Amino acid sequence: MKILYETSALSTGGRNGRVHVDNTPLHFEMATPAEMGGNKAVGFNPEQLFAAGYAACFGSAIQHVLKTRRLSLPNPDVRATVGLGKNESDDYQLAVKLTVTLRGVDQAEAESIVAEAHQVCPYSRATRGNVEVTLVAKAE
């Protein structure tokens, strides 16, 4: 694979530590969610950062599909909901729900666009077969 862009981040202290994204001003305090026994009031968690990245990446995949279909629509809204749970083997596992709102198309076309975007999105490709991803398309 020819790398087009590369970045890296350094984490110190895990879920209750700090993260710095190299060559950027991005520094994050991390905090374990209260639902998982955390008690820090301020900070992010890996699931929030994954949700943000997946939502943005999937939005770009939607825009790519719209371009290939020669459709000019308002920017879509993409909400990524990321859950962390335990599977049957008591191992931690992620689950994702992507809710995409498209304006200017009917429901059938919205579903088709979202399904196609799921095939080309790098995050979707990376999670395929490993993470349960539920797609919800909404036409407005």
Domain range list for the chain: 1-44, 46-139
Per DSSP (E only), the strands in 8-119 are 9-12, 18-21, 27-29, 77-86, 92-102
User: What's the rounded mean pLDDT across residues 89-116?
Assistant: 97
> In terms of CATH architecture, what is 46-139?
2-Layer Sandwich (3.30)
- Predicted confidence band at 71 (pLDDT cuts at 50, 70, 90)? very high
Q: What contacts 95, CB < 8 A, 6 or more positions away?
A: 82, 83, 85, 131, 132, 133, 134
- Predicted confidence band at 120 (pLDDT cuts at 50, 70, 90)? very high
The CATH T-level fold of domain 1-44 is: N-terminal domain of TfIIb (2.20.25)
Confidence check: pLDDT of 6 > 80:
yes
User: Please, is 108 exposed, middle or buried when counting C-beta atoms within 10 Å of its C-beta (0-12, 13-18, 19+)?
Assistant: exposed
Confidence check: pLDDT of 40 > 80:
no
Instruction: Please give the pLDDT value at position 38.
Output: 86
User: What's the rounded mean pLDDT across residues 43-68?
Assistant: 97
Higher pLDDT, 94 or 39: 94
**With contact defined as beta carbons under 8 Å apart, do 139 and 105 qualify?**
yes
